[in-house]
Every structure is written in C-alpha cells, then in structure tokens.
Structure 1
Amino acid sequence: MEDVMAKYVRNIQGNKVELELVEIDPDDVVLDPTNPRVGFSMRQLGDAEAGDAACTLLLTSQEDTESLKRSIMLSGGVQEPIYLRHDRTVAEGNRRVVALRAAKEEHPDNPAFGTMPAWIIPEGTPEHVVQDLLNEIHLGSVRGWAPYEKALQMRALVASGLIEAEVAERYRMTTNDVRQHIEAANLMDRLYFPITQDPTDAEHRSKYSYFLEFAKNGRIQRHREAMPDLAQRFAGWVRDGRLDTGMKVRKLPKILDAKEAVRLLEVDGFDAAEEYLSERNPREQEMYLLMERARARLAEMSVVELVEAKHSPERLEILEALQQTVTDVLDNIERVAVRQTQRKAGGGRKRR
C-alpha cells in the first residue's frame, strides 16, 4: 500500500470527493482501454488481447508520446499528478504513465523515473462524478479536451446515467448541442475509423469538426432521409480527402441538391462538383457572386451615404464608371447575340 502524502477534498458539481495523493510505480497501474487515443482500436481486440500491453503499444506508437517522454526526462520525472481509480486503473494521465515507463526502462537506476504522483479517487465514487472530475481537470488544464475527446466525455456522462439536459448544463450548451456532439462521435466510431488505414492516427480525430457539421446541418439531415447511405458515403469522402475542409462540408448541401454534382464529387472531387454547380447557377461563380453582393450593397445605401456620394467627385466617378462598364457589357452581350443569330441564319440558307 502506498503512503498517503496528502489529502484533498474536492467539490465536484456539488459532490465532495476526498482525493489522496500518493507516489506510485508506473508499472503498478493499469492503463484505461477506453482512452480516446486508443479506444477504437482496443474495442476491435478480443478480451484476451485488449490488455495493458496492447494499450501501451498503441500509446507508445504515437509521436506525441515520444516527445512527452523526452519532456519528462528533461524535467526529472512526472511533475503533475495523474488520477487513478481505487483499483489503480488510470482515469487521467495514460500517456504520462506510458512515457514514464519508457524513461524508467531506459534509465532503471534513476529514482526520478521510478515513481510518479497520483491522486486516488475513492472507491464508491459514482461514475458520473468521476467523469465530471475529468471534465473539470481538462477544462482547467493547458492541455484541455480536444473536440473529439470532449464529445466522448459527454457520451460517457450520458452512459453513466445522466440525462442529456444535465450534461448540457455542465457544458453550458443546449440539449440538442450535446445530442449532436455525441452523434458526431458515434458516426466517427461506427463509420469513419473502421475504414481508415490506421484508426489510432491522431490526424483522424482532427476530422471531428466535419462530422459535427454533418450532424448539425439541417439541410444535410434532410438529405439523409432520401439517401439512407449518406452517412457512410460522407465518411468515405472525408477519408479520401474529397471533403478536407470545414468550408467544403458546409457547402455539401448544395452538392447534394444535384445528383450530377454528387456523382462528380465521388468521381472527380469537390472542385469538379462545385464547377458544375457554378455553371448551372451564376451566383455560384465568383465573378457573379461579387457582382450580386455589390448590387445588394448599392441597393441598401443609406441617405447619409447617398448625400456623401453626391458631394464627393471621387465617389461619383467610381459609380459612373461602374454604370458605364455595366452598360458596355450589356451592349457587347447584345451584339454577340445578334452576330450568333445572323451566323446561324446564314448557315441555314447555305444548307438549303
């Protein structure tokens, strides 16, 4: 049994939890197989394989764990306590455990790498209180929760027995926001990670915002009713890089409105689909979009702006030049149309 170095009563959402601070050997703790960085891969393993060794291997293979190990070695050990459940399973600090184990293996005679500080969460603490504790730790930490990890935390709170409205209150969100965050995480776990080459790659988790936009966008959700496989196809588009920015995901509803645009997205990519739409709708073309914005802005000029323009030769010159340019363009369009009509008529007479 470890010696208790200190005790601290922490108020967590109105629940008082007495934490005990101990020094513990990193080899005496058990890694959390549900850790967001490795959770998906661990769930794919059988019970016999999904142990501490597999979790260690998955965390060790990530580049940021190696950099954390170097940081720990430079600072002479782990400085910030991890959090352990009463059975010594890691609640928070899995990477620090793995990094310290590696440092200890490289320098077995250095006592700085033999133990690490840890807060012990007492037995009998309700799971939702543990999840609230982890949430508070990360909200107040420089590390913070990454968006995907935050969604998993919400999901864990719901799984522990809280209703979505209670979770929303903790995160200062609406109930619908919480539902959408959880749905986005579920979509990634169910449809995206399984089709990626390496589900543990941290780059995949950065795509979470795409799936959140997918879950939130009302126009996309309406398309799901007519396209039952839309979520699966969306996951494939993200994996293949056809949707590789948040802006493209936000523009997706316009593509879904046209079957040919969807086909072009899948065959030739997003730019081809967008070009097809711009040909059908001038307002999708950059030049016409700029003109439409300018027209709308001119139509909304206030009295003050009109008076200002009246007494400003420079402003009047710009407006008059714009008027003349538009007139010239319209005249040119008309002349081109007349020539094309005459050419067609002449060609028709020759054929006769």
Structure 2
Amino acid sequence: MRQLDDQQAGDAACTLLLTSQEDTESLKRSIILSGGVQEPIYLRHDRSVAEGNRRVVALRAAKDEHPDNPAFSAMPAWIIPEGTPEHTVQDLLNEIHLGSVRGWAPYEKALQMRALVKSGLIEAEVAERYRMTTNDVRQHIEAANLMDRLYFPIAKDPTDAEHRSKFSYFLEFSKNGRIQQHKEEMPDLPERFARWVRDGQVDTGMKVRKLPKILDAKEAVRLLEIDGFDAAEAYLTERNPREHEFYLLMERTRGRLADMSVTEMIAARQSPDRLQILQSLRETLGDVLENIDRVAANRSVPRKARAARKR
C-alpha cells in the first residue's frame, strides 16, 4: 500500500491486496462456519477501520456468497472516541498486533517496530512494551532493513505478498552470530545472501542455519552459487564425515553410549531386551568393520592377481 500514491491507495486497493492472501480466504470460511464476525473490530470516529481490515474484507466476501444471510450484513465494532490522541490509538494497535496472539505477520511486526523507533522510542522501550528483548527488536529491524534495501529491489515482483514470508530467512541471517563474523571478510555477504534467497539457493530457515559451515569453505560458497545448496553441502560432507547425516547419527550414538551412567548400565543388565539391542549393535558394528577390511584388502590386490585367484 505504501508503494501506491494517495489516489490509488484506497479501499479498492486494500481489498484487492487482502483478498489475494490465503489468510483472508481461511478467515472467510471461519466467519461462515461461525455465523458471522465474533470479535469486534476498531473504528475511528469517522468510521474508517483502525484495526480489522482483513475481517471486513472477509465478511464482504462471505456476504457476496450468502447475500440473504443477515449474519453477514453487519459486524461488531469498538468506536474510538473523537479527539483520542493519535499516540494512544497507535499504542492500542501496537498492543494488538505486537503483543497479542492475534498479531501481524513477522515482517509487518518488524516494520511497526521500526516505525516506533523512528517516532522517537528507543529499542529498549519497544522491547519492554511488547515483551521482547532489546536484541530481538534490533534484529527484527535489521532484517526488515535488509529486505527493503537489498531483496525487494532485485525481486521480480516486489509487490508479491509471497516475498514477505521470506522475512524469517533474513531474521535468521541477522541473528546468527557466525554469519555476522563472516561479514568482516565478505563485505558483500548481505547482497549475496539476498540473491541466494531470490534465486532459491537458500529457500528454508534450516539452510540459513547451516550457512556458516558453507561460508567457512570458499569452494563450498562457489558451489552454492553455481550448483546450489545441496552441492555445497555434499562437498562439506566429503571433507568432513561428521557432516553426513549417517555418520552424524553414529557420532551421537557413540557419545551417548560413552556417557552411560552406572544406573543405566545396571538397568540394561537387568533388561534382556535392552541387553540384546546393545549386543546386536556390537555384532553388527564388528561385521561392518570386517567387511570394510575385506573390501580394502581386495582393492589392494592387483587386478591380474585377482583374476588368477578367481581361476
């Protein structure tokens, strides 16, 4: 809406924007099932909506589908008295959207936090008001700034609401201390990260959390940009077996066995089932190691010798 001029940023544009979002469609279905809007919206004294635009749009859609149902012809509303100071209205809206379960999406919350800081509040005040830490507020604002400065300008369609769901990637980027350390040796890392998100190399929060290990190796970074995240991760797995899911599981099991307490050992001894599991594990591991030795020995024999042995 902020990208539109005053003449375009009206009721029709707001309705179109909200109608295109999945949340509005699910809200409409909920309104139909519950027989109307149950929770009051907030109106300014001139009857413009201060809070509850999505419910208004969803109710209109429900009325269009069921024009004869009186449950969809009106909705409850609290009216903010004329003369109420604007900062009081904003405090009310901020409490609804930032401090309650029924709040804005993370990106919108971050924008609101940024607006509050620009209006004169310090980060600590915003944090205390909305039950967050000062660092949380700072990281949310930084993530929103990264998206606005680096991501939206290079996105194919900056107005696509789908882009906002990627805010969590930028928030994780801002929160991850190891990623921030890499920014010292890679000054263009934020710009590159924005491109990775845009191009799909980084498309989950888990990949952002794994990014520091890739940044540790220049070849892994090169593979990330050329062949994608999976290629970079495969390269790391080859270099370090502990990065491979199978060996990572083995390492965790080994560590857990090494940390078994005396109580657990006694319990295992007294349980035939538990003891059988441990014995089977020992036997299987022994078989695997023997097979590995056989394979290694077989490969060490020259090809002609192996052929003669077969004859």
When normalised by structure 2's length, the TM-score is 0.78
1:182 equivalent in alignment to 2:158: no
Identity over aligned residues, as a percent?
A: 76
Q: Within 5 Å, give how 1:100-179 maps onto structure 2.
A: 117=77, 119-120=79-80, 122-123=82-83, 125=85, 127=87, 129-138=88-97, 143-179=102-138
Match of 1:265 in 2: 224
- Partner amino acid, structure 1, of 2:178: R
SS at match of 1:162: coil
Deviations 1:145-178 (A, max 9, x none): 2222222222222122111111111122211111
Match of 1:330 in 2: 289
- Partner amino acid, structure 1, of 2:258: A
SS at match of 2:50: strand
Contiguous gaps of at least 5 residues in structure 1: 1-37, 347-352
- Partner amino acid, structure 1, of 2:198: R
Match of 1:289 in 2: 248
When normalised by structure 1's length, the TM-score is 0.70
In structure 2, the CA distance between the partners of 1:335 and 1:51, relative to structure 1 (3 Å rule), is: same
Q: Is the 8 A contact 2:107 2:144 kept in 1?
A: yes
Residues in 1 aligned to 2:75 and 2:274: alpha-carbon distance in whole angstroms? 74
- Partner amino acid, structure 2, of 1:243: V
In structure 2, the CA distance between the partners of 1:85 and 1:338, relative to structure 1 (3 Å rule), is: same
- Cα deviation, residue 85, structure 1: 5.4
Contiguous gaps of at least 5 residues in structure 2: 306-311
- Which one is further off, 182-191 or 285-294? 182-191
Residues in 1 aligned to 2:89 and 2:301: alpha-carbon distance in whole angstroms? 81
In structure 2, the CA distance between the partners of 1:65 and 1:314, relative to structure 1 (3 Å rule), is: closer
Residues in 2 aligned to 1:243 and 1:340: alpha-carbon distance in whole angstroms? 40
Residues in 2 aligned to 1:318 and 1:67: alpha-carbon distance in whole angstroms? 49
- Partner amino acid, structure 2, of 1:125: P
SS at match of 1:91: strand
1:247 equivalent in alignment to 2:247: no
Q: Is the 8 A contact 2:44 2:82 kept in 1?
A: yes
Residues in 1 aligned to 2:253 and 2:30: alpha-carbon distance in whole angstroms? 54
- Tell me which protein shows more helix as a share of its residues: 2
Q: Is the 8 A contact 1:213 1:250 kept in 2?
A: yes
Match of 2:168 in 1: 209
Alpha carbon RMSD of aligned pairs, Å? 3.7
- Which one is further off, 193-202 or 207-216? 193-202
Q: Is the 8 A contact 2:110 2:141 kept in 1?
A: yes
Residues in 1 aligned to 2:7 and 2:148: alpha-carbon distance in whole angstroms? 22
- Tell me which protein shows more strand as a share of its residues: 1
Select the structure with the greater relative contact order (CA < 8 A; seq sep ≥ 6): 1
In structure 2, the CA distance between the partners of 1:333 and 1:206, relative to structure 1 (3 Å rule), is: same
